[in-house]
Amino acid sequence: PSTTTPARQDTVALLLPPPSPGGDAIPTVDMSAPRGRVVLSQQVARACAEQGFFRAVNHGVPPAGPAARLDAATSAFFALAAHEKQRAGPPNPLGYGCRSIGFKGDVGELEYLLLNANPAAVAHRATSIDTNDPSRFSSVVNEYVEAVKQLACDILDLLGEGLGLKDPGFFSKLIMETDSDSLLRINHYPPSCTTHKLDHDDQCKLKRIARTKASNGGNPTAVGGRIGFGEHSDPQILSLLRANDVDGLQVLLPDVSGKERWVQVPADPSAFFVNVGDLLQALTNGRLVSIRHRVIATACRPRLSTIYFAGPAPHTRISALPEMVTAVLPRRYRSFTWAEYKTAMYSLRLSHSRLDLFHIV
């Protein structure tokens, strides 16, 4: 806070300056291409370069089809008793997780399902998620993944065109490989108003907050239950998020003076929110930016979000494309495989800027 900001008593507010209401700062891209494909590809490329983030509307994934079926199936899972949900946990890192994120002690005010998006892995996991009808759960997930993967490929192709790549399909091919390492994450944020009666889950939450507050000195992920999912960038190529009508997502964007501030992303259940991941930043030599974001869920209703993380196969070598490296913009990151990057990311905290480890000094 600047020296002119009056002192506040609320320690949570001191750690978390209020976000700017930011509908206008979030670029919106109409995927139905009302002004033609060339303009669309330029809009996608500009949004990914300037903000690393945009809201995709008229994207062609109908709300009533696979998306609605997935929301119904995952809501039914989260409504189960805690001991039934634990059958699909603890997260290793995949599976059902309740508050713990990754392996380094990060916590969030949420529960989640984290699945490998590959159909064989979904079928394996489904037996502990829907014990009554695992094959129905698998087909609902697979159908959704197919639709969202198609959208991710369309966006990546547009990006390849907008950036003028020699092979505009380069990015989408990475996520189309049969052993591509893509994930589906479903996050369920509990209501965080204080007026509702405490149930068993809430008591578990309060105990956990007390413990992490004591041990987590200053890590805002753990502050007072205000944070749903702490600040981070997504490691993969591209992420596509869809959520219900409950606000919570915030993105870190530069304002006109270049100073970064948290911007509240107004909920829009009919849209996909697209963000650039670390690998896309590395492949484009930093022309596209992997955006930092977080969730602060403070509503009286639960927030349900579903994110598809499009990633490459583990052996894929990530190196800036030749046309992205120039005398003015020399190679910024050393080359690495996705497997190598994953090892680094699991050894670090959620908020770590892990791409910096690969920065050429």
**Terminal CA-to-CA distance of the chain, rounded, Å?**
31
Tell me the pairing of strands 303-310 and 238-243.
antiparallel
93 contributes a contact to ligand GA4 by CB under 6 A: yes
CB of 307 to ligand GA4, least distance (A): 7
230 contributes a contact to ligand GA4 by CB under 6 A: no
Number of residues that bind ligand GA4 (CB under 6 A): 15
Comparison of 185 and 188: residue with beta carbon closer to ligand GA4? 185
Cα–Cα distance, 28 to 23 (Å, whole number) = 10
Cα–Cα distance, 306 to 117 (Å, whole number) = 12
CB of 222 to ligand GA4, least distance (A): 13
Strand residue runs (E) in the chain: 20-21, 28-30, 53-57, 95-101, 106-116, 183-189, 229-232, 238-243, 249-254, 260-264, 272-276, 293-295, 303-310, 317-318, 336-337
106 contributes a contact to ligand GA4 by CB under 6 A: yes
**H or E, element range at 64:** none
CB of 249 to ligand GA4, least distance (A): 13
Nearest residue to ligand GA4, by Cβ distance, number only: 102
Rule CB under 6 A: choose which of 113, 183, 279, 296 binds ligand GA4. 183
359 contributes a contact to ligand GA4 by CB under 6 A: no
Comparison of 114 and 253: residue with beta carbon closer to ligand GA4? 114
- Please report, as residue ranges, which positions from 265 to 324 form the binding site for ligand GA4 (by CB under 6 A): 309
Comparison of 32 and 353: residue with beta carbon closer to ligand GA4? 353
Q: 194 exposed, middle or buried (CB, 10 Å; 0-12, 13-18, 19+)? A: exposed
Comparison of 101 and 158: residue with beta carbon closer to ligand GA4? 101
345 contributes a contact to ligand GA4 by CB under 6 A: yes
89 contributes a contact to ligand GA4 by CB under 6 A: no
CB of 236 to ligand GA4, least distance (A): 6
Number of C-beta neighbours around residue 120 at 10 A: 9
CB crowding 298-334: b at 16 or more within 10 Å, else e: bbeebbbbbbbbbbbbeebebbbbeebeeeeeeebbe
Local structure of residue 223 (DSSP, 8 states): S
Rule CB under 6 A: choose which of 102, 160, 228, 248 binds ligand GA4. 102
Give the interface with ligand GA4 as residue ranges (CB under 6 A): 93, 101-102, 104, 106, 114, 183, 185, 232, 234-235, 309, 345-346, 350
